[in-house]
Chain A
Amino acid sequence: MGYTLNFDAVWRSLELLLQGLALSLALAVVAILIGAVLGLALAFALKSKAWWLNRPALVYVTIVRNLPILVLVLFSYFALPQMGIALGKIESFVATLAVYATAYLAEVFRAGLQTIPRGLTEAGLAIGLTRGQIRRSIIIPLMLRNTLPSLSSTLISLFKDTSLAAAISVPELTFEARKINVETFRVIETWIVASLLYVATCSVIAALLRALERRLAIPR
């Protein structure tokens, strides 16, 4: 028996899918903002000469990067309450994704820091700038330019990872798509539309970052 495509049902539920997408984006943005700040601090810790900074930082990054994110999501939502830390499902997921983002962004930033010549720091010191001023005015701006290309794929991965929130019933795009699928039985149509929404969003993120990269490019 043939399956005839019929998008009517999905079309009627489009608003629900878009709401899901909005929540997906919100989850990603908040987690990425937290992860960027903590990841930056962690990147400097990884590069520090002090063992009591670089050791714990390395342990953190290694552990988190070797855990499947779904395991982290389930652990935060189901196991942490047993240990007295109970969060709502959205808060729990954002915190988990932020923990994950921190580790990945720390690696990206560390790689970006690696290529900045020591001489620039010394030139800054020689003028009389403090290390904090050098970080803010020289190191971080250069590091961000270095990392934009690889940052793009990391941010897109983190956005896609929001679909795992469906596992704990956070009403983001994947969760809504599954709901519509169950209610309307339009299996193929629902997943085609949801997939297109993911692909379109990722393309927009990539385009925005490419535009930023061009804007920040150093003339030579």
Chain B
Amino acid sequence: MSSLLEIQGLHKRFGTTEVLKGVDCAVRQSEVVAIIGSSGSGKTTLLRCINMLEDFQAGRIVLDGEEIGYETRDGVRRRKSEKEIARQRALTGMAFQQFNLFPHLTAAENVMLGLVKLKRMSRDEARTLAMRWLDRVGLAERADHFPGQLSGGQQQRVAIARAIAMQPKLMLFDEVTSALDPELVGEVLQVIKGLAADGMTMMLVTHEMRFAHEVAGRVIFMNGGVIGEEGNPKKMFLAPQTERLAEFLKSSSFN
């Protein structure tokens, strides 16, 4: 079966520091992939390359048959135009650790912005749709609140609604619960679980091992800029094949 996302030989350098040293992976439609690994192993950078928030020096990322970010013509690799890259970024949605809601817009307006600017909807149409997505994350009654008036968990749910309202083919979650107080983590994970159950394809970087174990069909363990190990979470967590994963699991809060 063909993959929705295919990454081949991804290399990424910041200056002279190589951060991704050849990542290959593929994600099928409706698959939930958890990415784990110690801090600095390149998890965030991997997600950011998929969304072209970072340029990368070598390798290919193909989403639903389209090469992301670059094209090769007559043997020369070129970055695509800004306009084309912006269009491609809309194919993936991203939720960040720091929520990054637009502080001067209400929850509904945060969700509406992309719909109005990119999907060319009227404000009324966009509002109707935004309300549907806010309802989906359980925040319809907070639609007219500003981010500063919402709890961290609520802000993150609005941020997720903002991303999925664009109907991306793939959702990227980067440690979306790390900045939250422990009592607010559950409500956000619940929303993600719901999206997974509905068949949303997603890659999520997480430190919540229990959650990865529960929702992910597959786990990728990043180690020093490459995939150290990957597979079914139940097998991987019980019987890690590499020393590094075993160490990582021991140091994480799984047990």
Contact = CB atoms under 8 A, between A and B. Distances in A.
A213 to B, nearest CB: 13
Given A122-B53, A126-B51, A127-B163, A133 B102 contact: no
Contacts of B118: 127-129
Contact of A125 (B86, B91, B103, B159): B86
Contacts of B163: 126-127
A218 B86 contact: no
Given A126-B53, A126-B163, A128-B114, A141 B93 contact: no
A123 B86 contact: no
Chain B CB count within 10 A is highest, among A125, A128, A138, for A128
B93 A129 contact: no
B249 interface: no
A218 B146 contact: yes
A68 interface: no
B82 A122 contact: no
A130 interface: yes
B189 interface: no
Contacts of B176: none
Interface size class of A (residues with CB under 8 A): 20 to 34
Given A119-B100, A123-B96, A128-B87, A220 B117 contact: no
A219 B100 contact: no
Interface in A77-134: 117, 119-120, 122-131, 133
A128 B52 CA distance: 11
Contact of A130 (B53, B83, B146, B159): B83
Q: Secondary structure at chain A's binding surface: helix, strand, loop or mixed? A: helix
B89 A126 contact: yes
B4 interface: no
B104 A141 contact: yes
B113 interface: yes
A93 B92 CA distance: 53
A119 B98 contact: yes
B124 to A, nearest CB: 18
A127 B82 contact: no
Contacts of A219: 146, 148-149
29 contacts: A117-B98, A119-B98, A119-B100, A122-B53, A122-B96, A123-B96, A123-B101, A123-B159, A125-B86, A126-B51, A126-B93, A127-B93, A127-B162, A127-B163, A128-B87, A128-B89, A128-B90, A128-B91, A128-B114, A128-B166, A129-B113, A130-B83, A131-B82, A133-B117, A137-B113, A141-B104, A142-B104, A145-B104, A220-B148
Given A117-B98, A126-B51, 4 more contacts: A119-B98, A127-B113, A127-B163, A128-B118
Interface of B: 51-53, 82-83, 86-87, 89-94, 96, 98, 100-104, 113-114, 117-118, 146, 148-149, 159, 162-163, 166
